[in-house]
Structure 1
Amino acid sequence: MIKISPSMLAADFANLEQEITAVQLAGADMLHIDVMDGHFVPNITFGPDVVKSLRSKTDLLFDVHLMIKYPLQYIGAFAKAGADIITIHYEAADDVRETIGQIHALGKKAGLSVKPGTPVEEIYGFLPMLDMALIMTVEPGFGGQSFMRDMLPKISSLKQKILDGSLHMDIEVDGGIDRNTAKEVIGAGANVLVSGSALFKQKDYKKAIEELRATSASAAL
């Protein structure tokens, strides 16, 4: 099943509650919430208090992507705030295994992400512990960037490794996802699409999500 996770980084920050309601009614499967600290990436966005305030506004699954240094220090705060999936970066965690273990200990699903410059093989040893792996197809930090097509082999390689290990986990892709690139990443093996600018710039969110699904479904055949 192809899952659509609208990136709140591209939403109207002055009207987040309305934006969340709109994408939920439009058929989104979850909400992708990018947390940036201004250190690991050159931008600052949401903190646990914002996640907590949004939690009461929807029952959609919160797909929280921590683009921060020292994520272990903040797992508890985001779990308490209402995150359902907490994804950390391989490059940011001092102890990846311990951090993943803490996420699970708090009853949350765990994801692990790699930047474009990091070989996907770096996370293969952690796959049995994960619920999701996130491949970045832009440099993390800002929305609206162009899709990096040379990341497609990473997705294919990761998918094959998951199949070889008979693992059950999602492959999420974030960065420059629209109707055209969605078909490519699904064809490579992904099943969770993070869409920001390509979705929120449309007047009709429902139509935008349906088009992503239709394109993705044809690619998955």
Structure 2
Amino acid sequence: MPRAIISPSVLASDFGNLTAECKRMIKGGADWLHMDVMDGHFVPNITMGAPILSSVSKGVPGIFMDCHMMVSEPEKWVNDIADAGGALYCFHLEATKEPLPLIHAIHARKMKAGVAISPDTPSTAITDEIANAADMLLVMTVYPGRGGQAFLERCVPKVAELRARFPNIDIEVDGGVGPKTIDVCAHAGSNVIVAGTAIFGAEHPEQVIADLKSTVGAAQELAQRSQ
């Protein structure tokens, strides 16, 4: 069973103090930092790009940047993100017609490869061939493009379907996830949890991170006992 991983979404941080915010999350127990890269084309918003990621990487040595590429033509940005210190490059299946060559290109730059699907894309769009080549699958539980949206529980069955097919791969959920919605995600089989406001806006983020991780661990233990 893949380990529980908490990846706070930097989109919910104070961008004016980005390096300090990332250090605060790592000190609080975060495993990864989720970096939302938006290009204004694939989604109607613009956030951060490779120069900002590079600055964070230099300011926070050893950081694992989980780069969520909400961009058109994701093939174009692999080298830039790798050079900036990205550790995982997660592209949207809807944004490319050639997912397998893209996964190979990501691996060639020594990054992990993730494949994301938006709320209206069925989990069956991720074929066995794609999943077996990738390192992580991301199920969006909001529409990509902006933070603070309400959690879409109708997306959760996709997590369960993917976990049933791929018991050993990392499965991430992103969007509206926090203490009130973690249970359904964890019991469906997600082990990588992205949370933004729920962590960055908390008085004690380290406690929220610990609670989220504990919930995933408990769900995994229950799933193992029921097998």
Which TM-score band applies after superposition, normalised by the shorter structure? over 0.9
- Which residue in 2 is equivalent to 1:54? 56
1:126 aligns with 2:130: yes
- Which residue in 2 is equivalent to 1:2? 4
The 8 Å contact of residues 7 and 33 in structure 2, kept in 1 or not, is answered as: yes
Compute the displacement of 1:219 (Å).
2.8
One-letter code of the match for 1:29? D
Structure 2: give runs of 5+ residues left out of the alignment. 223-227
Mean alpha-carbon deviation: is it higher for 117-126 or for 81-90?
A: 117-126
One-letter code of the match for 1:45? T
**109, 133, 136: which one pairs with 2:112?**
109
Compute the displacement of 1:128 (Å).
1.0
Compute the displacement of 1:57 (Å).
2.0
Matches of 2:110 and 2:219, distance apart in 1: 34
- Which residue in 2 is equivalent to 1:187? 187
User: Which string of whole-angstrom CA distances, capped at 9 and with x for unpartnered residues, describes residues 72-112 of structure 1?
Assistant: 01111001110001000000013111111100111111000
Matches of 1:214 and 1:129, distance apart in 2: 29
The 8 Å contact of residues 32 and 63 in structure 1, kept in 2 or not, is answered as: yes
1:74 aligns with 2:77: yes
Matches of 1:24 and 1:115, distance apart in 2: 28
Structure 1: give runs of 5+ residues left out of the alignment. none
The 8 Å contact of residues 70 and 94 in structure 1, kept in 2 or not, is answered as: no
Matches of 1:159 and 1:209, distance apart in 2: 23
The 8 Å contact of residues 5 and 192 in structure 2, kept in 1 or not, is answered as: yes
Mean alpha-carbon deviation: is it higher for 90-99 or for 1-10?
A: 90-99
1:65 aligns with 2:68: yes
User: Which string of whole-angstrom CA distances, capped at 9 and with x for unpartnered residues, describes residues 159-203 of structure 1?
Assistant: 01113xxxx320000011111211111100110000101111112
One-letter code of the match for 1:121? T
- Three-state SS of the structure 1 residue aligned to 2:182 is helix
Q: TM-score, normalised by structure 2?
A: 0.93
- Three-state SS of the structure 1 residue aligned to 2:198 is helix
One-letter code of the match for 1:111? G
- Three-state SS of the structure 2 residue aligned to 1:134 is strand
**24, 45, 49: which one pairs with 2:47?**
45
Matches of 2:163 and 2:213, distance apart in 1: 20
- Which residue in 1 is equivalent to 2:225? none
Q: TM-score, normalised by structure 1?
A: 0.95
One-letter code of the match for 1:172? E
Identity, % of aligned pairs?
Answer: 40
User: Which string of whole-angstrom CA distances, capped at 9 and with x for unpartnered residues, describes residues 94-133 of structure 1?
Assistant: 3111111100111111000000000111112301100000
- Three-state SS of the structure 2 residue aligned to 1:34 is strand
The CA RMSD over aligned residues, in Å, is: 1.0
- Three-state SS of the structure 2 residue aligned to 1:35 is strand
Compute the displacement of 1:211 (Å).
2.0
Compute the displacement of 1:54 (Å).
0.4
1:136 aligns with 2:140: yes
**10, 31, 34: which one pairs with 1:32?**
34
- Which residue in 2 is equivalent to 1:91? 94
- Which residue in 2 is equivalent to 1:175? 175
**152, 158, 182: which one pairs with 1:154?**
158
Mean alpha-carbon deviation: is it higher for 28-37 or for 95-104?
A: 95-104
Compute the displacement of 1:144 (Å).
0.8
Mean alpha-carbon deviation: is it higher for 169-178 or for 205-214?
A: 205-214
